[in-house]
Amino acid sequence: MRRQRLALSLAGVLALSACSSLNPFSSEGKPPALKPLASPVKMNEGWRARVDDAGVFVFQPAISGGAVFATGKDGEVTRIESGRSVWKTPLKTRVSGGVGSDGNLVAVGTPKGEVIALDAETGQVKWRVFINAEVLAAPAVSGGMVVVRSADSRLFGLDASDGKRRWTYQRATPPLALRNAAGVVMEGNFIIAGYPGGKLVAVNGTNGSLAWEGTVAVPRGATELERVADITSLPVMTPRATCAVAFQGRVACFDMSNGSTLWTRDLSSSRGLDLDDRNVFVTDEKGAIHALDLANGASVWKQDQLAGRSPGRPRIVGEYVVVGDIEGYVHLLRKDDGSLAGRHRVDSSPILADPQKAGGDIVIQTRNGSLQAIDVQ
């Protein structure tokens, strides 16, 4: 147990100091100045709201229908519609992971290992349970289940009606792992999660058993630090394929049904990726955004003008790829060629949470707690 705590402590040091690419608070000098854009695409502010700041955590807003559910570190959860707060529920405890919702239930997690579920319509707390491990990621809510990933990479399948534990999935992990806020993706009866050491797993949602396992990256090097090859972002998927990327590793896509490898490509990323029916879009450790052919991983384009600005996970909205940066800017890239098409500043703090899609809009949450819906024209 003592060794495990030491490993997690070292992971925190690694994420917050040694690997500046993983640390949004690190400083390697002022980010490069942005150049003016010729004929930029118009980006209109739809609405603006606020929650508490994120502190050292990362909070994702959850979108369901026309509702946005959000929180900050103070644990006040809110439902927002068209910029108006429908309800606010103070949980009277600090939270560290959230928000997850299916439109019926809203779930968050705390540093002390408590998972709290609220009614999405009223904001009333429905249940609170302890899993006895810190929660850094947003819980996934779907199909009558709440799946929670703890900071020590265990998965907990909880009944959405009362929080009762249905199953736990646990696997061996390397002695040194990166502390991160990556959760899980639920697709049908599969729960897809990336792990330290470069493994991607599909877990059976009924009983928590392992359905298949794929290798995204293979740890290499003489020291534990050099051998860190962790998946620190959400996997993405189509009905037939799922793709993931690892820090100090590769991008890889797998057959969704059995986990067989479709292709791999060397590329390191802690930020994450997105895909459509043609390409996979990924931000690398130097801040370049790549488009790769979904069929074989071949390079389609590369955009490196945001290098040094710590762009985050790319998200596809219509004909554009959206990324946020360390100074609170949202950037639009044209999906077909990667050219910079527009930008909009939410505030001056880093955008660490993934941009969330809400119809034709994107919803951004910054580290300082600004929430904003942006319409992409």
Please state, rounded to an integer, the average pLDDT across all residues of the chain. 91
Give the mean model confidence (pLDDT) for residues 92-98: 94
Specify whether the CB–CB gap between 323 and 314 falls below 8 A: yes
> DSSP secondary-structure letter at 87?
E
3-class DSSP state of 268: coil
pLDDT of residue 29: 72
pLDDT category at 377 given cuts 50, 70, 90 is: low
pLDDT of residue 119: 98
Query: CA 360 to CA 42: how far, in whole Å?
Result: 13
pLDDT category at 27 given cuts 50, 70, 90 is: very low
pLDDT of residue 200: 96
Least confident of 21-35, 181-195, 211-225, 313-327: 21-35
pLDDT digits (tens, 9 = 90+) for 157-191: 999 999 999 999 999 888 888 989 999 999 889 99
Closest by alpha carbon to 69, among 108, 112, 20? 108
Tokens linked to 122: 């009223």
pLDDT category at 28 given cuts 50, 70, 90 is: low
pLDDT of residue 30: 87
pLDDT digits (tens, 9 = 90+) for 202-256: 999 999 999 999 999 998 888 888 889 999 999 999 888 999 999 999 999 999 9
Tell me: pLDDT of 32 over 80.
yes
56 CB-near residues (< 8 Å, 6+ apart): none
Report the DSSP beta bridge partners of residue 255. Answer: 241
pLDDT of residue 376: 84
Tell me: pLDDT of 1 over 70.
no
Listed in order, strand segments (DSSP E) in 217-369 are: 236-237, 241-245, 250-255, 261-266, 272-275, 279-283, 289-293, 299-303, 315-317, 320-324, 329-334, 340-345, 356-358, 361-365
**More confident of the two residues 220 and 128:** 128
Specify whether the CB–CB gap between 107 and 116 falls below 8 A: yes
The percentage of the chain sitting over the pLDDT mark of 70, rounded to a whole number, equals: 92
Give the mean model confidence (pLDDT) for residues 28-57: 92
Whole-prediction pTM value? 0.91
Give the mean model confidence (pLDDT) for residues 68-76: 97
DSSP string, 337-361: T--EEEEEE--SS---SPPEEETTE
Query: CA 58 to CA 230: how far, in whole Å?
Result: 18
pLDDT of residue 226: 87
pLDDT digits (tens, 9 = 90+) for 251-281: 999 999 999 999 999 999 999 999 999 999 9
